[in-house]
Amino acid sequence: MNLSSLKPAQGSTKVRKRVGRGEGSGLGGTSARGNNGAQSRSGYSRKAGFEGGQMPLQRRVPKFGFKNINRIEYKALNLDTLQSIAESASVTVIDHDFLYNHGLVSKNDLVKILSRGQITIALQVTVKGFSASAKAAIEAAGGQAIVG
């Protein structure tokens, strides 16, 4: 074996299409671009959302509703979730870092505790928000609900 006998693997390479090199090649004249219009010219680039002059979809469909830019989005966790994780990990203090380490919330989530389920363990819970009934349930079980 030597360098002059090396070849690429069978089928791994293709012959480049040489356009605009005479009529005999079959790709002369318009160079496989069709006859006229923007796409036949050099330097053409289609704008995002352009549909050939037809009214584009984002202009055909009306605006709908509104998005409140001041909305604070909370990640909701329920009392039954806290109960089960407290039993499995056998802890009495639950905060954002604990929830993050157990894969229940992401790093930047604001957590709010809601009142679905029952809680029987006295827990000290420190998160960004509580519903009134969840706070009452945690305190009734002998725990603390700390907004922080």
> Residue 45 belongs to what domain range?
18-65
| Both structure tokens of 39 | 């796409």
pLDDT (tens digit, 9 = 90+) per residue, 35-75?
A: 998 899 999 998 999 998 999 999 999 988 999 999 999 99
The percent of residues in the chain predicted with pLDDT above 90, rounded, is 92
User: Is the residue at 11 inside a domain?
Assistant: no
This prediction has a pTM of 0.58
User: Is the residue at 94 inside a domain?
Assistant: yes
Sheet of 110-114, strands arranged across: 74-78, 110-114, 129-130
- How many other CB atoms are there within 10 angstroms of residue 113's CB atom? 25
- Mean pLDDT over the full length of the chain: 94
User: Is the residue at 85 inside a domain?
Assistant: yes
Helix (H, G, I), strand (E, B) or coil at 104: coil
Do 59 and 89 belong together in one domain? no
Handedness of CA 90, 93, 118, 109 (dihedral sign): negative
Residue 97 banded pLDDT, cuts 50, 70, 90 = very high
**What's the number of domains the chain is made of?**
2
